Amino acid sequence: MQHIAPKKSLGQNFLVDSNIAEKIVRLFEPAEGEVVVEIGPGEGALTTNLLKSGCDVIAVEIDREAADLIEKRFGSDVEIIRNDILKTDLSRIAADKGVEKLRVIGNIPYYITAPILFHLIDHQRVISDTTLMMQREVAERLTASPRTKDYGILSVAIQTWTEPKRLFNVPPSCFFPRPKVTSTVVALKVRERTELTGIEREHQQLVRGAFSKRRKTLQNALTELIPNRDERTEIFRRAEIDPQRRAEELAPEEYIQFARVFADAGAGAAG
């Protein structure tokens, strides 16, 4: 098989251990008729295994050289979108394909792991689940519990919108070139979150506001978002959240409750 010279700037660490590639796809369980979006196929380590299941593969690849290689290797078996995943409208893909839900997989470029996760959250309505390989440190943040150092905006966002599960670690020796860090494969199953419909913005404002000053009490951290002191006190009271607590002490479910009251109070309109 032809190879390309890895580009560090695009986070190209190709998976060269075929057993691991096969295992990731086996656990993902693609099925015939499903539409699977692969983020950054590179040289096609995961793609080749996906195709064996008979699913429809749509590969989003920013690197022209890698996209050319995928085209040459798999021909019309793979639909290639030559674009930045962060600029790719997944809702559009689902609509074009005539499916309600897409499945998403990828050994993603580590330099944009968090932006990719937020992009997928933005399109969660058209995604059923995703399996991603990322650096272990980020994977640990996704599943972190409140009151731990890893618990932050990413943990709350991911745990609110998905059920995250860390599957297994992959050592640097399985890649070319070898990354400096250990990787982890994570499965995220998207949750139905009807109670947040229409108040997603308020929820996001609240979580970001709270964590922007994570060392402060919520009472102090949220002064910018809810400047009126009486209004703030009332929102805390109605949400049954002690204003002396800090951002990292609140569970994802508490942020949802908080967001509902915050939205009801119309306080989000200011932002």
Binding site for ligand SAM (CB under 6 A): 10-15, 39-43, 45-46, 60-63, 66, 84-86, 107, 109, 112
Least gap, CB of 85 to ligand SAM (angstroms):
4
CB neighbours (10 Å) of residue 105? 27
* Closer by beta carbon to ligand SAM, 131 or else 204: 131
Least gap, CB of 183 to ligand SAM (angstroms):
9
Least gap, CB of 101 to ligand SAM (angstroms):
21
Give the Cα-Cα-Cα angle 23, 117, 175 (nearest 5 degrees): 40
Q: Is residue 191 a contact partner of residue 250, using CB atoms and an 8 Å limit?
A: no
Least gap, CB of 111 to ligand SAM (angstroms):
7
Residue nearest to ligand SAM (CB): 40
* Closer by beta carbon to ligand SAM, 65 or else 242: 65
**Structure tokens, 250:** 């609140």
Least gap, CB of 28 to ligand SAM (angstroms):
13
**Structure tokens, 72:** 């040459």
* Closer by beta carbon to ligand SAM, 127 or else 218: 127
* Closer by beta carbon to ligand SAM, 176 or else 264: 176
Least gap, CB of 59 to ligand SAM (angstroms):
9
* Closer by beta carbon to ligand SAM, 36 or else 85: 85
What is Dmax (Cα atoms) for the chain?
67
Which bin fits 58, alpha (ψ -120 to 50), beta or left (φ > 0)? beta
Least gap, CB of 50 to ligand SAM (angstroms):
10
* Closer by beta carbon to ligand SAM, 85 or else 250: 85
Q: Is residue 198 a contact partner of residue 264, using CB atoms and an 8 Å limit?
A: no
* Closer by beta carbon to ligand SAM, 61 or else 202: 61
